[in-house]
Amino acid sequence: MRNFSEVLLKATPLILIGAGLAISFRSGVWNIGAEGQFYAGGMVAAVVALQMEGVNAWISIPVILIAASLAGAFWGGIAGFLRARYGASEIVTTIMLNYVAIILTSYLVTGPLMEAQGLFPQSDRFPQETQLPRILSGTRLNIGIYIAIIAAIVSWYIISQSRRGFSMRAVGASPDAARYAGINVNKNIIYSISYSGALAGLAASIELIGVTKRLFQTISPGYGFEGIAVALLANNNPLGAIFSGALFGALRSGAEIMQIGAGVPSVLIFIIQGLVIISVITLGTIRAYRKLRPED
């Protein structure tokens, strides 16, 4: 049960990030900045959490989650605005913003938010009132997994069943045709990348107040980049991100266990993830080729 709980714990941020990126990719916006949006959400979550001592958990926890989501949305929205207004490639801008967010986090934990003892580059431990309740005693699994699954379902509904989702899918399929049909392309670009940023920020807040309980220099082992693979494996379907996120969570958890128990390098996980991505892309290319190939 403990190992299974660790799989779900590792899967939680991947499900959230993967579901958000699925929305962005379906909209034709290549958000490569989920890592930076994760860090942006983490910074704000830490700042808010440290001010919540003595505040009821029913108030402090939602405030932290919302604040972190807004921070991630804002960080993603920067790249969305630059593309919509100036035509700047969101691939370039989101990658650049990744480094900015990581450097800002490093500054905070070595400066304004550094723990009172000043021994390590980390913040003070968050107040008990801000920490997410655990689901199973004796494990680290918390209610964040429920939040992730609900967010993925809501994301699926938005992109597949709502009018907004139809507009975003139309923009992703053909921006020119969508514009001709009267759809506000720029608005949908900004919305989609901001939405994916919001889920990345939400993932960071859950990681901080549910797992680490404080802000570190490296709050992410690469969740933002793994989330890209999660979305691709799910075929950009937010519901599929639940299962692909669980798969990647199992791979990450298993890699740690193998390294401790058998001495197998944990970097093996990246090789496996790479093979999964290559397989998905190859199969997608083959299917696309078969559709385009004229029938005999």
Residue 187 pLDDT > 90: yes
Residue 267 pLDDT > 90: no
Which residues neighbour 254 within 8 Å (Cβ) at sequence distance 6 or greater? 269
Give the three-class secondary structure for 61: helix
pLDDT of residue 282: 85
Q: Please tell me the pTM assigned to this model.
A: 0.92
Assigned CATH class of 2-292: mainly alpha
Residue 268 pLDDT > 90: no
- As a whole-number percent, the residues of the chain with pLDDT over 70 amount to 95
3-class SS string, 152-183: HHHHHHHHHHCHHHHHHHHHHHCHHHHHHCCC
CA–CA separation, 14 vs 124, rounded Å?
Answer: 26
